[in-house]
Structure 1
Amino acid sequence: MRYELHYWPSIQGRGEFVRLALEEAGADYLDVGNAPEDEGLGIPAMEDYLQGKQTHRPPFAPPFLKAGDEVVSHVANILQYLGPQLDLVPPDEESRFWVHGLQLTITDLTAEAHDVHHPVAISLTYEEQQDEARRRAKAFAGERIRTYLSYFERVLGYNPAGDTWLVGERRSYVDLSLFQVVAGLTYAFPNAMRRLAPEIPRVLAVAERVAALPNIAAYLASSRRLPFSENGIFRHYPELDPA
């Protein structure tokens, strides 16, 4: 099956969590948002789905995935759908629910990271809410990053199969997502992450392990891996990450 990933062009954003799963599995997929509009792709093709022209169950927003006749939206939902197909989740149902729950926790963390630079309204620019962003960043960088990543540090310690991966003996899609979160937070809050590093050695080891997976390493070295920027979820504003 050829998958079609629909997400906004030129940024990693939430779509990157899905890209990492597709890349690690070596799946055949089309990144619709980054494809040429003159070939019937790009944003116009994506908007046809959002406006209900291509499906009677339109998604609220990207990312969404088209797989055959199915359209699946929301990152955690998409990864729960793809996990068994791409062999990125353990075979037993209990573990699959556990992986999904961990992914939902990453969804919460990602939302909080986004709201640091847009704490008042998405419709306002960062500059229009910079004072509020400073207050939000102080709490996020000083408290919430530690709260989330120390939780995943404990989860790794609880894994009966060892602390190599979050669930079971093999990597699952939530390990890939944890890598993306660590990479994004390191870009956005390098000082905060440097201070926290001694407390989360297992989490950082998983991130390094994911980056070294052959398919992921090839993807990270390719032009398909879009860079972090101040247009995505994880944004680096020095004033929000004091030394």
Structure 2
Amino acid sequence: MAYELYYWSGIQGRGEFVRLALEEAGADYIDIARKPDSQGGGDTALMALLERDDIPHPPFAIPVLKDGDILIGQTAVILLYLGDRHQLAPRDEVKRLWTHQIQLTIADLVAEAHDTHHPLSAALYYEEQKPEALRRAEYFRKDRIPRFLGWFEEILARNPEGDRHLVGKAISYADLSLFQTVEGLLYAFPRSTKRTLKHVPRVAALHHAVAQGPRIRAYLESDRRVAFNEQGIFRHYPELDG
């Protein structure tokens, strides 16, 4: 039975971290929002899922992964689930939890990137909070991007099984998620991120290597990959890049 992924149709967002794992695993999945409304798809299907009152463990928000009767919310938990089933995480319990910890730190970085353009509230337009966004983005560019990417660089350097992966000697969902995060930062803050990447060569190499993997490369070149745009988490406003 194919997985069902519930996420908005027109943006990469947090759902893209799940898509990359599914693509790397070669898993059969249905991107529900990209199906026609007449076939039970579209964004209305996502809202219908969240509004159901017969789910014992209702998700707070999407992305949501459906595997038979199992519904899983929260990107990091979905990836923990997929990692166990598709060899995208180590089997050793300590390394498995370490991979999850890295993923949660990536989630922190992604949230901070989002808050550069919506520092006051997601309910307000960017233009309604632009002065605050300019201040938040300056701090994010100068301090937070180097600090986060520097931490990932250190993890790669300390991996006893080689600096090609964050954990162990095989690709994990954490590697895929770091790739996506760097992609997003390069879109939103190209000047600042390129400068930082010069100081974290292992992160830059991992980003390049993931993009060259046969399944990920095929996905990136396909129409299944939604382009970055100014509706998602990573948005390019030139004034925020300094």
Q: Pairwise mapping of residues 1-243 of structure 1 onto structure 2 (< 5 A)?
A: 1-53=1-53, 55-242=55-242
Count of residue correspondences = 242
Distance in 2 (alpha carbons) for counterparts of 1:178 and 1:197? 13
Please give the TM-score of this superposition, normalised by the length of structure 2: 0.98
Question: 1:47 Cα shift?
Answer: 1.8
Distance in 2 (alpha carbons) for counterparts of 1:197 and 1:110? 17
Distance in 2 (alpha carbons) for counterparts of 1:53 and 1:46? 14
Residue identity matched to 1:99: T
Residue identity matched to 2:84: P
Asked whether the equivalents of residues 2 and 29 of structure 1 are also in contact (C-alpha less than 8 Å), the reply is yes
Structure 1 gap segments, 5+ residues each: none
Distance in 1 (alpha carbons) for counterparts of 2:19 and 2:113? 20
Asked whether the equivalents of residues 65 and 73 of structure 1 are also in contact (C-alpha less than 8 Å), the reply is yes
Residue identity matched to 2:110: T
Question: 1:40 Cα shift?
Answer: 1.2
Asked whether the equivalents of residues 153 and 202 of structure 1 are also in contact (C-alpha less than 8 Å), the reply is yes
Q: Which deviates more, 190-199 or 164-173?
A: 190-199
Asked whether the equivalents of residues 197 and 203 of structure 2 are also in contact (C-alpha less than 8 Å), the reply is no
Question: 1:56 Cα shift?
Answer: 3.0
Distance in 1 (alpha carbons) for counterparts of 2:101 and 2:240? 30
Question: 1:52 Cα shift?
Answer: 2.0
Aligned-partner SS, 1:199: coil
Distance in 1 (alpha carbons) for counterparts of 2:17 and 2:224? 13
Distance in 2 (alpha carbons) for counterparts of 1:20 and 1:134? 31
What is the RMSD computed on CA atoms of the aligned residues?
A: 0.9
Question: 1:156 Cα shift?
Answer: 0.2
Aligned-partner SS, 1:236: coil
User: Could you give the per-residue CA deviations for residues 106-151 of structure 1, whole angstroms, max 9, x where no partner exists?
Assistant: 0000000000000001110000000000000000011100110000
Q: Which deviates more, 53-62 or 20-29?
A: 53-62
Distance in 2 (alpha carbons) for counterparts of 1:30 and 1:48? 17
Distance in 1 (alpha carbons) for counterparts of 2:53 and 2:19? 25
Distance in 1 (alpha carbons) for counterparts of 2:36 and 2:161? 45
Aligned-partner SS, 1:56: coil
Distance in 1 (alpha carbons) for counterparts of 2:174 and 2:166? 8
Distance in 1 (alpha carbons) for counterparts of 2:142 and 2:152? 17
Q: Which deviates more, 42-51 or 67-76?
A: 42-51
Distance in 1 (alpha carbons) for counterparts of 2:41 and 2:241? 38
Question: 1:53 Cα shift?
Answer: 4.5
Distance in 2 (alpha carbons) for counterparts of 1:4 and 1:188? 29
Asked whether the equivalents of residues 50 and 58 of structure 1 are also in contact (C-alpha less than 8 Å), the reply is yes
